[in-house]
Amino acid sequence: MIVECVNTLGDLGEAMRSSDYKVREAEQRAVAIAGDGEPFEVGLVWIVRDTRANRELVSRYARLLDSRFTGSSVEWVRALVVGGQMPSKSGIVWSDLRATRLFARRRSR
């Protein structure tokens, strides 16, 4: 599980490329570690601090983010907080300003 904690969203393109690189690296390691067995699953979630600037950026680029992060935010929160099954698709969740609580992101309509 790759968990990216984001205080301030800046260059979304660079952030997504960086995350893609980390996922590729982890997937290669998962195959190497597994040997002849099934590779481990690799998942990605961004935890974004709930600031006005971050909300505005997520709203402005909602379609892009929705297409890149298709995993259920509710299921990601459950996996991170309760320890449930990791969703198979990347996701985004919010954290409160003090980074003490996670909550689901609502998708754009």
**Average pLDDT of the chain to the nearest whole number:** 92
pTM, full prediction: 0.90
CA end-to-end span of the chain: 28
pLDDT digits over 46-98, tens only? Answer: 999 999 999 999 999 999 999 999 999 999 999 999 998 899 999 999 999 98
What's the whole-number mean pLDDT along residues 18-38? Answer: 92
For residue 23, pLDDT beyond 70: yes
Q: Please report which helix (H) or strand (E) contains residue 99, including its range.
A: none
The domain locations on the chain are 2-104
